[in-house]
Structures are given as C-alpha cells and as structure tokens.
Amino acid sequence: MNKRYKFFINGDWVQGDDYYELKSPHTNEVIGEIPKANQEIVKKAIDSANKTNKTMKNLSAFERAEILNNVVKIFKEKKNQCIDILIRENAKPFKAATQEIERTIETYQFAADEAKKIAGEIVPIDAAKNGKNRLGYTKLEPLGVIAAITPFNFPFNLVAHKLGPAIATGNTVVLKPASQTPLSAIMTAEIFEKAGLPKGAINLIFGSGKDIGKWLTKDEVIKMITFTGSVEVGEKIKGESGLKKIALELGSNAAVIVEDTENINAVAKRCVEGSYGYSGQTCISVQRIYVKKALEKEFIKSFKEETSKLNIGDPNNKETDISSLITEQDAKRVESWIGKVNKENIIVGGERNKSVINPTILKNVSNEFEVSCKEVFGPVVIINTYETLNEAIDLVNDSNYGLQAGVYTQKIDKAFKCFDEIEVGGVMINDIPSYRVDQMPYGGVKKSGVGKEGIKYAVEEMVEKKLCLLNLNK
C-alpha cells in the first residue's frame, strides 16, 4: 500500500476525499498518493491563512528571523532526505539535487538575515511649501495572505524563494506546488512546523493547477500571487487576479554571445554546463549560443568534446548529469521539435529513450524553429554564428523572452555595450545566463515575467508601505 499524504491546514495534517498517484519520472513506480483539493479545502486553507495574519503581524523581526534560522538548521539536518526526495519525485540527478538543497539552505539563511533589515524611512514632509512642522515616516507592513504557486523544476529552492520572504515579512501563505513535486513541499512544511512557525501561517494544498488554481487566483482575501512557471499559465493567472499584487517568474530561451576569449575551451565547458544542467530543465538554461564566426570551429570542437563526457542515466548515480525529463510527454515534445530541424543541422544527439533525451547540439537553426523561439526545457542547444557584435545583440533580442543573457568578451567597451543593449533582467559578463545566486535581483522582462525575486527584492514586493504623518504645528 502506498503512503497517503495529507494537506497541511491550520497546523493540522488533513486527509483528502480524493487522491492521485504520484509516479517517479525515472522509474515510473508509484511513490505516494497525494490528496486533491476541492473548493472547500482551498477555502479552508485561505481562511486559515487569513485568521493567522494578526499573529504573524505581531511577531517581532527577531522572532521571524529565529523561525527562519531554525528552518536553516533543520534543513541542514535533513539534507540527505531532501536530496532523496528530489531524486524520486523529480528525477533530479544526485549532483544537481545536492546543489539545490545547498542553495535552498542559503536562500532561507538570506531570508532570516533579511527579516532583521526590514525598515521604513523618514519622509521629508517639510520639503513641500505646505509641509512645515510635520513629520512623516513609513512602516513596511505585511500584505496579508499570499498565494504561492510553484513549478516542478526547483521544488525546494523556488518554494524557499516564496516562503522565505513571505515569513520574513510576517505574511501568511497558501502554497500550491506543482502536482509532480508535492513531497518536497510536504518536507518543507514539516520543517517549518518543527521550526516553531505559528499554526496556520503556511497552508499546503495539492491538486491540478488547471482545476484548483482559479479558487486561489480569484479569491479576494488573497492580497498577492507569487507565481513561478510557464508563460501560458502566468498570463492566465494575471488575467484572473484582479487588483491583487502579482509577481510572475516565467520562462525563457536564454542566449549567450561568445565574442572573444582567452580560453575557448573553458567557455565551451561552461556553456555545456549551462545547456545540460538538470537536463536543460531550468528557466535560464543556455538554449541559444551565438559564436563569432572566427571562433566557430574551435568552439564547436570543444563543445562536442565536453558534451561527450556527460553521463546519462539513473538520477541516483552520483556521476549522472542527464536523466529523465519530468514526463515522457515532455520528452516526446522535445523530440518532435528537434525532428522539425534539417538532419544536417544536428551535430550531436536528437535521440529519445523513453523520458530521456540525449544531449543535443544543433547548428545554424534560424529563429522560426520551435527549438529556437520557444522554451525547449530539455537538453538541446543551438550554436549559430555572427560577424558583428551588433548582429549578435539583435539575434539575442529577437525573442519574446528576456530573463538573463551571457556575454563572453575581454573588451570592457563591448561588455558595457552588451549590458546596455540586451533586453533582459540580468546580463552575465564572462559567464553563462544560467548563473544565479539567491540574493541577487532575479526576474525577467518581456514574456519572462513581472517583479523580482532574490530575497531582499521579493521582500520589497511583499510589503505595504504605510505612512504615518504627525502634525507638529501648535
């Protein structure tokens, strides 16, 4: 009999009426039965968060930081269990799973530190003609109930990017994780429970986003929606969310320009890491590489060599780099997109074995193809060439997305030009677009989203700036 999991509502673990089977993407074995929320459960979760607002608002910065520090401590103790969950529910290879948990711990630590820095400001009211003898100051107050909707690909760390700042600011949360990754959310809720979080401050529900999402996005008690996921779902949520605050962290087809370098092999090696890390299922995976024509031969040779060193297989194996995509359906989609490209443009790969796509290198593929203009979310990269830097910048910008970009150059003027002219949320000079640490501002332009994450920046999104004005005139 498979283990039946529960919702977490108002500090209690609550059974469901209806369940779905959770299968491991790599082995296809059933690893648990997950309750599906109905409208009543969603409402209970929202009500629980709502009635806990006052308790959370009354916690001091010290108390909120202490809870988050406890979360950090317990996550460190449970590191191996968390890695195991990522391998089982997510097919995340051991190496990548370990990195994710280490980052998750750091994210919660940044949130604990940030909790103590949240402060308003003195407003110089007397700078106005009519402001003499008045004192103004702001206080940053929690919004209330935040709905957090998260994707499958970093189920611990992206949940941390929602819960960390929400608890640091004294908000309450209803969390709906991706249907494929509930176990990481359950472990996270258990850790918060042990860490001393007041009952009802985090409520955890499950079920198909398509079916239950609207009961979150349309509910007027909810003051903010923080969503990470695909553009299609992000646009739908924005359309439904009325006057709520919203943060949307969406997809991309991230690009890197290789203009000049002293070490082409090192650049190629780093690009391989960016293209195939977690089998390409990251929002800032390197999908498009634009290499200066003169460097093409050497770059492709080195890129092929590095790609051939990747280990494909069981996510449990400590050496594995590439494993199953999240579903076989996704692997079939990626295969079909590769299939639309001319055979002579496939340098390496293209094959599918069940849910695994072999690392694939494509060459000279124009922007009309799905593998270029859409988000592949698989281990596929395109290498195209260009003659001038202006041309390369235009190619990078010829995209509906704009999350991050990378530029390799030794010339400072070219670096600044790229920073100024590339339309993305962040430009990595002499690195790949896939670089991220969890305290930096992170978020896209164009269809890559609205709002910023990175703890300090998410904190700014999750507070209301309230003004107090004192009339000191006698």
Cα angle 422, 425, 429; round to 5 = 60
Pick 282 or 385: Cβ nearer ligand NAP: 282
- At residue 49's C-alpha, the angle toward residues 48 and 51, to 5°, is 65
Place of tokens 């024509």: 293
Contact 442, 436 (CB under 8 A): yes
Residues 43-62 that bind ligand NAP (CB under 6 A): none
Residue 113, token pair as written in the block: 């530190």
Helices (H) and strands (E) in the chain, counts: 16, 24
Task: With contacts defined by CB under 6 A, name the span among 173-181, 197-205, 264-272, 416-424 that binds ligand NAP.
Answer: 173-181
Position 237 contacts ligand NAP (CB under 6 A): yes
Asked if 385 is part of the footprint of ligand NAP (rule: CB under 6 A), the reply reads no
Binding mask 417-456 for ligand NAP (x = CB under 6 A): --------------------------------x-------
Closest approach, Cβ 331 to ligand NAP, in A, equals 13
Nearer to ligand NAP, 19 or 137 (CB): 19
Residue 215 in the binding site for ligand NAP (CB under 6 A): no
Pick 165 or 213: Cβ nearer ligand NAP: 213
| Beta-strand runs (E) in 59-167 | 122-123, 134-142, 145-149
Residue 283 known to be catalytic: yes
Does 37 interact with ligand NAP (rule: CB under 6 A)? no
202-204 and 172-176: which strand pairing? parallel
Report whether 303 contacts 338 (CB < 8 A).
Answer: no
The residue ranges of DSSP E strands in 124-269, in sequence order, are: 134-142, 145-149, 172-176, 202-204, 222-228, 245-249, 255-258
Contact call for residue 151 and ligand NAP (CB under 6 A): yes
Binding ligand NAP by CB under 6 A: which of 25, 155, 229, 315?
229
Token couple for 40: 């009543």
CB of 268 to ligand NAP, least distance (A): 24
Q: Is 213 a binder of ligand NAP (CB under 6 A)?
A: yes
- We find the least distance from the C-beta atom of residue 394 to ligand NAP, in angstroms, to be 23
Give the CA distances from residue 297 to residues 260, 263, 396, in Å, rounded to whole numbers and listed in that order.
14, 14, 21
> Residue 259, interface with ligand NAP (CB under 6 A)?
no
Q: Which residues are catalytic?
A: 249, 283
Q: Which residues bind ligand NAP (CB under 6 A)?
A: 149-154, 158, 176-179, 208-210, 213, 217, 228-230, 233, 236-237, 249-251, 283, 375, 377, 403, 449
